């Protein structure tokens, strides 16, 4: 959507917009300061706090800390460029009253409010826009309160998964929570979009264990489950929190984990059984013992100066090594698992291992408290779901295609087990009856428009190639793997139709209920982004006047974006 001008951008239009910038500095900065002062006064009034006490929570573009606060939770370097449109204000609340005031004051000033938790929104929808906006950065609201006696925890939206796991580990070695394997992912986005991890086959989705929640609605009210009602509670447990309000946190039920678990990694290449292994995995991964989660990684590599494909099974077994070796020797001999491939450890240590900590049993657990701020690489993600196994010839052709493309990799995540036992409308997440989910993944380090275009084309090319092997009508996608290629919303006259395109892919038939809930709780469509849930119809008197055109995130059309940057930022 928002585009970045390539390095080879011609000088004439750039010079024109540079002159435009020089001609407007005083009025533009004056306007920005006016907005900041108006917001600060409103925020002070609403929180009943002197302005001197809240300036550390409201950052204008002229604040020396503005850039570091903005960059801290940008997890994709594609959206961390000098020409990316910056927010007019960043708010970093520390209390419920701060969040309530931020919503009310943003609405009063007619500014779009982007809500950022951990910043892992793959296509940046939580922190960039092509129109003037504020960012509500929830990273300071990060409390995690674990109560082992009740097997529960209250988790604030700005906490990270690593912090959640660490706080559980502090209290117990036999409790866990079924969520993602990346420790810097923010809870607010992860749970509101469904949430899954390497215990998904044993326990299901993260949101299946949410017992209560708090949200700030469009009127600035703080609502718990009882106050918000079951419809809204259902919507924010898998339907994306940012469409209906600002999620403050969730109360979750903890799950029992054994004192010893087993992890292993087994790799094979094209010339040593990888095709057979991947093909057989499809009938074993989603159907084996629910205590076993085997992720399949497929990656084109160069080995002995020859281009090939490496297939890797990375696994967690909620039990001892002897058990899983015996199980897979019968069910999955193609894997060739041996006990020496396995490592036994605690569940928390397995989380460290999944985060690529090689000596997981020796690592200081406090590494999960490190948020790794401002450390993003360039990347692109896409997703698919598979309902019927891909034939062996399909796997062979897939490998050839991946070698041809060069770098784009795939991650297969098996379902089955508990996932298959829960109704598809129990939560907004509708994909439970699929065999497995596919993530398309490519990262790079070079800040180059041409290189970026090449990798984005690789992602689109492999996605197109997979059309015949994946779900249809609709071709499904996972909401937490945001992908603007499948559709964006201008929030204009065709808002519902545009929203239905990506909405059906993310939510299937659950999209209809989400739209009704959205219309009821936010009829003016204040809470919105390029892939939010639309209202049933365009309301008159929109809170945000004259929505602009949503653009796809690429580096095409740089001149238009430079104009936007100059007119709205400076």
**What are the structural domains of the chain?**
38-137 (3.30.43.10), 144-256 (3.30.465.10), 262-344+377-466 (3.40.462.20)
Task: Give CA angle at 258 (255, 260), nearest 5°.
Answer: 140
Cβ(128)–Cβ(116) under 8 Å? no
* pLDDT score, position 32: 76
Region of residue 264 (phi > 0: left; psi between -120 and 50: alpha; otherwise: beta): beta
Mean pLDDT (whole number) for 279-285 = 98
Least confident segment among 13-27, 113-127, 293-307: 13-27
pLDDT tens sequence across 479-493: 999 999 999 999 999
How high is the mean pLDDT of the chain? 90
What is residue 469's predicted lDDT score, i.e. its pLDDT? 98
pLDDT of residue 115: 98
CA 508 to chain centre: 19
Length of the chain: 570
Give yes or no for a contact between 380 and 456, defined as CB atoms under 8 angstroms apart. yes
- Active site includes 73? no
> How far is residue 481's CA from residue 79's CA, in Å, rounded to a whole number?
16
Predicted pLDDT of residue 29: 53
Does the structure show a pLDDT above 80 at 1?
no
Residues whose CB is less than 8 angstroms from the CB of residue 167 and which lie 6 or more positions away in sequence, other chains included: 144, 145, 146, 153
| Alpha helices (H) along 332-391 | 347-354
Q: How many CB atoms lie within 10 A of CB 115?
A: 29
**439-467 average pLDDT score:** 97
Q: In angstroms, what CA-CA distances link 434 with 266, 276, 411?
A: 24, 21, 15
Confidence of residue 546 (pLDDT cuts 50, 70, 90): very low
Question: Is residue 527 helix, strand or coil?
Answer: coil
**pLDDT (average), residues 161-172:** 98
CB 301 within 8 A of CB 327: no
Number of H helices, E strands in the chain: 18, 18
Among 379, 387, 26, smallest CA distance to 182 is for: 379
**Cα–Cα distance for residue pair 426/30, rounded to 1 Å:** 51
d(CA 328, CA 532): 43
Determine the Cα–Cα distance for residues 406 and 461; give it in Å rounded to an integer. Answer: 11
- Confidence tier at 28 by pLDDT (50, 70, 90): low
Question: How would residue 475 be classed by pLDDT, with cut points 50, 70 and 90?
Answer: very high
Nearest to 474 by CA among 434, 513, 421: 434
Asked if the model's pLDDT at residue 555 lies above 80, the reply is no
**15 burial class (0-12, 13-18, 19+ CB within 10 angstroms)?**
exposed
Catalytic residue among 166, 481, 502, 506: 481
pLDDT for 357-371, tens place per residue? 989 999 999 999 999
Q: How far is CA 68 from the centre of its chain?
A: 21
CA 379 to CA 376: how far, in whole Å?
9
Greater pLDDT, 23 or 244: 244
Residue 104 CA to its chain's centroid (Å): 26
Closest to 213 in 3D by CA, of 185, 189, 232: 232
Q: What pLDDT does residue 33 have?
A: 86
């Amino acid at each position: 959507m928002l585009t970045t001008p390539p390095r080879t951008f011609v000088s004439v239009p750039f010079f024109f917009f540079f002159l435009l910038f020089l001609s407007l500095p005083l009025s533009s900065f004056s306007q920005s300061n006016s907005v900041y002062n108006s917001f600060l006064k409103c925020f002070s009034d609403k929180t009943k706090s002197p302005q001197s006490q809240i300036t550390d929570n409201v950052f204008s573009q002229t604040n020396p800390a503005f850039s570091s606060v903005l960059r801290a939770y940008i997890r994709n370097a594609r959206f961390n460029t000098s020409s990316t449109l910056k927010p007019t204000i960043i708010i970093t609340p520390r209390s419920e009253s701060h969040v309530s005031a931020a919503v009310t004051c943003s609405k009063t000033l007619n500014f779009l409010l982007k809500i950022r938790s951990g910043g892992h929104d793959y296509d940046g929808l939580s922190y960039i826009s092509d129109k003037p906006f504020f960012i509500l950065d929830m990273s300071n609201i990060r409390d995690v309160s674990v109560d082992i006696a009740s097997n529960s925890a209250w988790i604030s939206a700005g906490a990270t998964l690593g912090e959640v796991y660490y706080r559980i580990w502090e209290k117990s070695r036999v409790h866990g929570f079924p969520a993602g394997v990346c420790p810097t992912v923010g809870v607010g986005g992860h749970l509101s979009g469904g949430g899954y991890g390497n215990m998904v086959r044993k326990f299901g989705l993260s949101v299946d264990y949410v017992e209560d929640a708090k949200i700030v609605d469009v009127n600035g009210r703080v609502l718990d489950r009882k106050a918000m009602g079951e419809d809204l509670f259902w919507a924010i447990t898998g339907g994306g929190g940012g469409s209906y309000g600002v999620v403050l946190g969730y109360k979750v039920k903890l799950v029992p984990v054994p004192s010893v678990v087993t992890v292993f990694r087994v790799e094979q290449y094209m010339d040593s059984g990888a095709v057979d292994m991947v093909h057989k995995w499809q009938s074993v991964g989603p159907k084996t013992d629910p205590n076993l989660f085997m992720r399949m990684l497929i990656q084109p590599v160069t080995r002995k100066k020859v281009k090939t494909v490496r297939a890797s099974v990375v696994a967690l077994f909620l039990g001892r090594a002897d058990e899983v070796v015996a199980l897979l020797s019968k069910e999955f001999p193609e894997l060739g698992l041996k006990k020496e491939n396995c490592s036994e450890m605690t569940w928390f240590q397995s989380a460290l291992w999944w985060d690529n900590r090689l000596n997981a049993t020796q690592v200081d657990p406090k590494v999960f408290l490190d948020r790794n701020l401002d450390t993003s690489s360039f990347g692109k993600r896409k997703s698919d779901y598979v309902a019927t196994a891909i034939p062996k010839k399909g796997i062979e052709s897939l490998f050839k295609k991946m070698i041809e493309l060069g770098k784009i990799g795939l991650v297969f995540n098996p379902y089955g087990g508990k996932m298959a036992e829960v109704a598809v409308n129990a939560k907004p997440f509708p994909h439970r009856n699929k065999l497995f989910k596919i993530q398309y993944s490519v990262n790079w380090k070079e800040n180059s428009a041409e290189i970026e275009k090449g990798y984005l084309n690789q992602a689109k090319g492999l996605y197109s190639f997979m059309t015949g092997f994946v779900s249809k009508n609709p071709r499904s996608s996972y909401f937490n793997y945001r992908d603007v290629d499948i559709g964006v919303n201008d929030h204009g006259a065709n808002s519902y139709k545009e929203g239905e395109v990506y909405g059906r892919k993310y939510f299937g038939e659950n999209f209809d209920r989400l739209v009704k809930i959205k219309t009821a709780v936010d009829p003016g469509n204040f809470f919105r982004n390029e892939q939010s849930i639309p209202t049933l119809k365009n309301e008159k008197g929109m809170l945000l006047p004259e929505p602009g055109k949503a653009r796809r995130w690429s580096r095409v059309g740089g001149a238009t974006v430079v104009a936007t940057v100059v007119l709205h930022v400076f």
